[in-house]
Amino acid sequence: MRNKYSAIFLIPLFFWNPVHADKNLDSAVEEKTMCDPSEQIYFSCPVGEKIISVCASGNYSPETGYVKYRFGYPGKSEFEYPKNSAPPSDKFSISDSFGGNVSTVILKFRSGKFTYVVFQSAVSGVYVRKDGKTIGSLLCDAGQYSHISPMAKRGIKTVAPNDDD
């Protein structure tokens, strides 16, 4: 005697299409960052064909490990700060800013006369300031690391937000 439920289990197999199954696998592919495999990803997002990344290693406090900002094409950094791998205590700062219903996490560093501000809010990105004026900005495309990791707050010196942000 045939089981009346056997036809029900065969129907999904009949409609399953392996072409569509491969598309679902694409979303599981790891997003490219500028971080080395041994580094933690504090932040990363694509901006067109380039990538903005904040990477860390051994950064358990502002006095340990290192944090680096990198910008460029996958595998080819156009800008890296700092050049050496020293603790971030006097190089990077992080703050939370609240205004109305919007909260923003701000990660900053100075390189020469320029202040770089990586931000995460309703949108994420980076802007660059010189002499108190914004001279450039990039907004992130959608990405899985476009929120600043909570681990960054453990390893980077926390400061109060200021008008320069």
Query: Contact, 92 vs 153, CB < 8 A?
Result: no
Residue 23 has pLDDT above 80, yes or no: no
How far apart, in Å, are the Cα atoms of 83 and each of 20, 72, 80, 87, 90? 45, 15, 6, 12, 14
E strand or H helix that includes residue 162: none
Asked if residue 152 is part of any domain, the answer here is yes
Domain residue limits at 121: 30-158
Cα separation of 21 and 24, whole Å? 5
Asked if residue 43 is part of any domain, the answer here is yes
Asked if residue 92 is part of any domain, the answer here is yes
Mean pLDDT, residues 62-72 taken together: 97
pLDDT at 107: 96
- Count the domains in the chain: 1
pLDDT at 98: 81
Mean pLDDT, residues 13-18 taken together: 36
The strand pair at 92-99 and 76-81 is best described as: unpaired
Query: Contact, 155 vs 162, CB < 8 A?
Result: no
Q: Going by C-beta distance under 8 Å and a sequence separation of 6 or more, which residues neighbour residue 43?
A: 52, 53, 54, 107, 118, 120, 124, 145, 146, 147, 148, 149, 152
Helices (H), the chain: 6-15, 18-26, 151-155
pLDDT at 39: 96
Least confident of 1-5, 65-69, 116-120: 1-5
Asked if residue 13 is part of any domain, the answer here is no
The confidence band for 25, taking pLDDT boundaries of 50, 70 and 90, is very low
Asked if residue 19 is part of any domain, the answer here is no
Q: What percent of the chain has pLDDT over 70?
A: 81
Residue 135 has pLDDT above 60, yes or no: yes
The strand pair at 157-158 and 92-99 is best described as: parallel
Asked if residue 9 is part of any domain, the answer here is no
Asked if residue 16 is part of any domain, the answer here is no
Asked if residue 5 is part of any domain, the answer here is no
